[in-house]
Amino acid sequence: MNRADAFGLLSQGVIVAAAVRTTVLVGRRNGPREGRAPRPWVFALVVAAVVAVPFAGTTAARELRALWGDPSATSALLLAMLAAWPSALPALPRTGSLLAFACLAGAALLGPTFVGWPTGIDIHGWGFTAWPVLLATAPWCALAWHLRADAWVAVVGSALVLWGTGCVPSDNAWDALVDPGLVAWAAAMGIARPAGSAARRRAAVRSLRAAA
């Protein structure tokens, strides 16, 4: 087993562990909070079980990998932080919808070439070499840095390091940076942030009117 295969299998365990952690967090938020939250090693055991415990002649990690493929390194890193230390997740700045929309804009440019539609410019093909990807991601990283969301720059940089060291199953750097799940999350954040701000403003106006 090489590094790329190991990463692919581990990332499936991370997906399951993150789903378990999310279930626990939602349960504690909506129900009683007695007792301590599970320790990170509990979720490490979940990852180990998904990767190593035999299941239907193979392992759950291999079955899941065949079902939906490998996540990007960016998603794997974020999900690993969610599973082990949710407090370590990089926070979105107050203007975080700008980062989300920037991610969506990049996905819109990449999407057609990902599925093989002729566009005249093979942006997806740029991912097979490092410099075009670094130049393309530099504006997004600069925006994140300007918004003081430098932790997101660290996540993107770590994903590129994983790709550069051969730990990502794909030879294309775009596959290490984005995936459909990450794009869907960015879309949700791009919509939820402005909607939440508008709802808070309406609530504040109603409170002022009631006080008057």
Domain co-membership, 20 together with 124: no
How many structural domains are present in the chain? Answer: 2
How far apart, in whole angstroms, are the C-alpha atoms of residue 105 and residue 85? 30
Domain co-membership, 126 together with 195: yes
Domain co-membership, 51 together with 102: no
Which of 40, 63, 89 marks a domain boundary? 89
Domain co-membership, 79 together with 129: no
| One pLDDT digit (tens) per residue for the chain, 212 residues | 788 999 999 999 999 999 998 888 777 666 555 556 667 788 889 999 999 988 778 999 999 999 989 999 999 999 999 888 888 888 766 555 666 666 667 666 666 655 555 655 677 788 888 888 888 888 878 878 887 878 888 999 999 999 999 999 989 998 899 888 887 877 776 665 554 554 555 565 566 556 55
Domain co-membership, 61 together with 108: no
Domain that holds residue 56: 1-89
- Sign, CA dihedral 199-202-207-208, equals positive
Domain co-membership, 132 together with 199: yes
Contact between 103 and 140 (Cβ < 8 Å): yes
Confidence at residue 48, expressed as pLDDT on a 0 to 100 scale: 92
Nearest to 71 by CA among 161, 178, 172, 159: 178
Domain co-membership, 119 together with 209: yes
| pTM, full prediction | 0.78
Domain co-membership, 172 together with 96: yes
Buried b (16+ CB within 10 A) or exposed e, 29-61: eeeeeeeeeeeeeebeebbebbbeeeeeeebbb
Domain co-membership, 75 together with 137: no
Q: Three-state DSSP class for 54?
A: strand
Domain co-membership, 100 together with 15: no
The strand pairing partners of 59, in sequence order, are 54
Domain co-membership, 106 together with 209: yes
Which of 51, 69, 89 marks a domain boundary? 89
Domain co-membership, 201 together with 99: yes
